Amino acid sequence: MDSVRVRFAPSPTGSLHVGGARTALYNWLFARRHSGTFILRIEDTDVERSRKELTSQILEAMTWLGLSWDEGPYFQSERYAHYQEAANRLIDEGKAYRAFETPEELEAEKKRAEAEGKAFRYSGACRALSREESDRRAAAGEKFVIRLLMPEETIVVNDVVQGRAEFSPDVLDDFVLVRSDGHPLYHFSVCVDDAAMGITHVIRGVDHLPNTPKHVALFRALGVKPPVFAHLGMILGTDGKKLSKRHGAAGVEEFREMGFLPQALVNFLALLGWSPGEDRERMTTEEMISLFSLERIGPSPSRFDHEKLAWMNGQSLQETPEPELLALLKAPELSALPEETLHAAIGLHRPRTKTLVELRKALSIYLEDPAEFDPAGMKKFARREDAAHLRTLAARLSSIEPFTHTGMEEAARALAEETGLKLGALAQPARLALTGSLASPPLFEMIEVLGKETALRRMLSFAGRIEANPHPH
Ligand code: GLU
């Protein structure tokens, strides 16, 4: 194989969506697998919809995912001279021509086709103009577009992923390359750039498959061998509909903010269409690179399962070395905790969390007394007798030495037996007192990490709070 050159070519009209991220990832994996070059090209010729800050966001999201590019970013908005030069060359070679129909004339042609129940195809009338006449009219200031002279032949696309597709000449007309204001159109700038950048493989979403015959014709006109095409299947939600906001987060930034780890997201995205074989799921980046091949990408749509992603993220979270984890948590306030406490707290909570955000929240209870209490919990466990139970439990715990969770558990069981209370009646108000919520990991393990003093202080102060304003029965 020639040395591989691939590109990711986002249009900065939105932030990086998981679909785009998967396209970028597949290009990146393919480049790395073949020691090739991964090029980043920003397709910002749509001046109305492209925004600078979205470009920075896309670059940032790619950097966060670890998808480093070797060339670029190139900006199409800075490459107009190339498109102009290519258009002139095609005209000189007789592969493209100026078309002088006015918008009104084209509109009338369209209407006529509609009335006859046919799809509109440009008639090709201006093909007949001589070069001299074309030059003369252009020089006289007449407005024109530049159209590709489409060969009258079936175009076959042998897509590595989607298979063979044939496009008959009657669906393809002499499409516009350059508008009358000199603005290059999408198909043209893409192909001029792919040709200029020596792109060997075009890996992109299946929504671009219908554009591909035009691109093939353009590559031929430009005098280059068309690249290998690999069109990736759609990404759907678990309900089988096109993935959208309705299904939950869909932007890379959103997942980052929700506390996902880049390696988990990358691993998950890699499996949306590609199967590495042997039922492999969790892989390191190195493993993905060494196993990746276009031949193992399936043509069907794949489903974006948020639950599976959360599971994968939870797995990655467990494997992250503690110092790295602390850096990722971005919670400098945690350094106020004694090292041992922090270590024990991570040991207790990490296995029960799936994201950095969840873990950060769980660890926050070791820093400060809860400021808010879950209203549903208050309704159930902030009655006068709960205050009494809290005081009884606190008194019993105060005498435990050494202050271990097994010791506490034994004492609490004995207390439940003596008083005829259920263990939950003792434990639930304590959970609320200590964390502000009823969801917490094993209570006594948490109390052990919190330490006797903090735990008893929170329990007694919460008891006082209930006594001052008990929830009615
Ligand atoms: N700029 C196009 C897009 O964002 C990609 C074009 C291509 O990959 O050929 O959909």
**What is the position in ligand 1's atom list of the atom closest to the CA of 190?**
9
The fold for domain 375-468 equals Arc Repressor Mutant, subunit A (1.10.10)
Spatial CB neighbours of 258, under 8 Å, sequence gap ≥ 6: 249, 355, 357
Spatial CB neighbours of 362, under 8 Å, sequence gap ≥ 6: 345, 349, 352, 353, 441
Check if 43 has its Cβ closer than 6 Å to any atom of ligand 1: yes
What is the Å distance from ligand 1's center to 210 Cα? 13
Q: Packing angle between helix 322-329 and helix 339-349, nearest 10 degrees?
A: 90
Q: What is the per-residue pLDDT for 191?
A: 98
Pair 82, 192: CB distance under 8 Å: yes
| pLDDT tens-digit readout, 429-447 | 999 999 999 987 899 999 9
Q: What is the per-residue pLDDT for 441?
A: 86
What is the Å distance from ligand 1's center to 467 Cα? 65
Q: For the chain, what are the domain ranges?
A: 245-319, 322-366, 375-468
Cα dihedral 328→329→333→334 (10° resolution): -100
What is the Å distance from ligand 1's center to 11 Cα? 7
**Rounded-to-5 percentages of helix, strand, coil across the chain:** 55, 10, 35
**What is the position in ligand 1's atom list of the atom closest to the CA of 23?**
8
Residue type, 271: L
What is the Å distance from ligand 1's center to 97 Cα? 26
| pLDDT tens-digit readout, 395-417 | 999 999 999 999 999 999 999 99
Tokens of 267: 């691993």
Check if 76 has its Cβ closer than 6 Å to any atom of ligand 1: no
Q: Is this structure's pTM higher than 0.75?
A: yes
Check if 101 has its Cβ closer than 6 Å to any atom of ligand 1: no
Q: What is the per-residue pLDDT for 440?
A: 77
| pLDDT tens-digit readout, 339-372 | 999 999 999 999 999 999 999 999 999 999 999 9
| pLDDT tens-digit readout, 173-189 | 999 999 999 999 999 99
How far is the C-alpha of 430 from the C-alpha of 321, rounded, in Å?
32
Q: Is 380 a catalytic residue?
A: no
What is the Å distance from ligand 1's center to 293 Cα? 21
Catalytic annotation, pick one of 245, 361, 379, 452: 245
Check residues 170 and 322 and name the one with the higher pLDDT: 322
**What is the position in ligand 1's atom list of the atom closest to the CA of 7?**
8
Pair 78, 67: CB distance under 8 Å: no
The fold for domain 245-319 equals Glutamyl-tRNA Synthetase; domain 2 (1.10.1160)
Indicate if the alpha-carbon torsion angle 273, 301, 55, 259 is positive or negative. negative
Query: Which stretches within 350-451 are classed as H helix?
Result: 356-364, 375-381, 384-398, 405-419, 423-435, 443-450
Q: What is the per-residue pLDDT for 1?
A: 59
Mutating to test ligand 1, I would choose from 43, 186, 193 the residue with most ligand atoms within 8 A of its C-beta, which is 43
How far is the C-alpha of 328 from the C-alpha of 339, rounded, in Å?
17
When the pLDDT of each residue in the chain is averaged and rounded to a whole number, the result is 95
| pLDDT tens-digit readout, 87-115 | 999 999 999 999 999 999 999 999 999 99
Taking alpha carbons only, the member of 466, 469, 472 closest to residue 387 is 466
Assign residue 6 a region (left: φ > 0; alpha: ψ between -120 and 50; beta: otherwise). beta
**CATH fold match for the domains 245-319 and 375-468:** no
Residue type, 110: K
Taking alpha carbons only, the member of 85, 90, 104 closest to residue 134 is 90
Q: Is 146 exposed, middle or buried (0-12, 13-18, 19+ CB in 10 A)?
A: buried
Check if 10 has its Cβ closer than 6 Å to any atom of ligand 1: yes
Q: What is the per-residue pLDDT for 334?
A: 95
Check if 302 has its Cβ closer than 6 Å to any atom of ligand 1: no
What is the Å distance from ligand 1's center to 6 Cα? 13
Q: For a pLDDT cut of 70, what percent of the chain falls above it? A: 100
Spatial CB neighbours of 186, under 8 Å, sequence gap ≥ 6: 43, 45
Q: What is the per-residue pLDDT for 162?
A: 98
Check if 215 has its Cβ closer than 6 Å to any atom of ligand 1: no
Check if 199 has its Cβ closer than 6 Å to any atom of ligand 1: no
Check if 194 has its Cβ closer than 6 Å to any atom of ligand 1: no
